[in-house]
Amino acid sequence: MKKIQILILTLLIPFLGFTQNDSWVRFQVQFDFYAPQESNFFMVSDNTLDSTFFYQPTQPYEYLDTIINLVSGDYTISLTDNFGDGWVSQNPASFKMDNTCQGMIINWDPVLGSFFLRDTTVNILPCAPPSAGCTDPNALNFDPNATIDDGSCTYPPCGGFLNSSATQICLPNGQALISFDWEVDTTTQIVK
């Protein structure tokens, strides 16, 4: 009997305290000119007090657009400015955090006021990970299930117009529609 208990406990130990990511957030952060010398931001889990994310820019006016996976729960988001004047320079700084389930969670656009530390607590709800793909309905490979555009959109090649025409159609309610017709030269090849 003891061997079975020890075996079960041995099998469970790797999973105790292990939690699986069940949510995600997207950060869109525009830093100011002085960011490499004095600004950063970090995200700490209020449940475990572990740092979940930290970012320090390396160049003036750096723009960060990234998605991180995480465990749902409460988090403290902290923006720092070592000089104490805030994220202020010639171009405005902004800090946005969102996901598709909750929408905009933080929208500091622009980041205003002087501060050494600006923080807030947010509750991240469970949210299935975003689906990346082509989100442009005009593209050949449009993916109606994609929630994040991954830059993979492809479009039909440009060909020469042989002729084109526009026709006005008058509707009974007094509005006008314009109909465009064109013929494309399908023998034109595009060299990439």
pLDDT digits (tens, 9 = 90+) for 137-191: 988 899 998 888 888 998 877 666 666 778 888 888 888 888 777 776 666 554 4
At residue 9 the predicted structure's pLDDT band, cuts being 50, 70 and 90, is very low
Read off the amino acid at residue 5.
Answer: Q
pLDDT at 51 exceeding the cut of 90:
no
Q: Which domains can be identified in the chain, with CATH numbers?
A: 18-124 (2.60.60)
pLDDT digits (tens, 9 = 90+) for 112-125: 999 999 999 999 99
Contact predicate 31/94, CB 8 Å? no
Alpha carbons 76 and 123: distance in angstroms, whole number: 9
Contact predicate 55/36, CB 8 Å? no
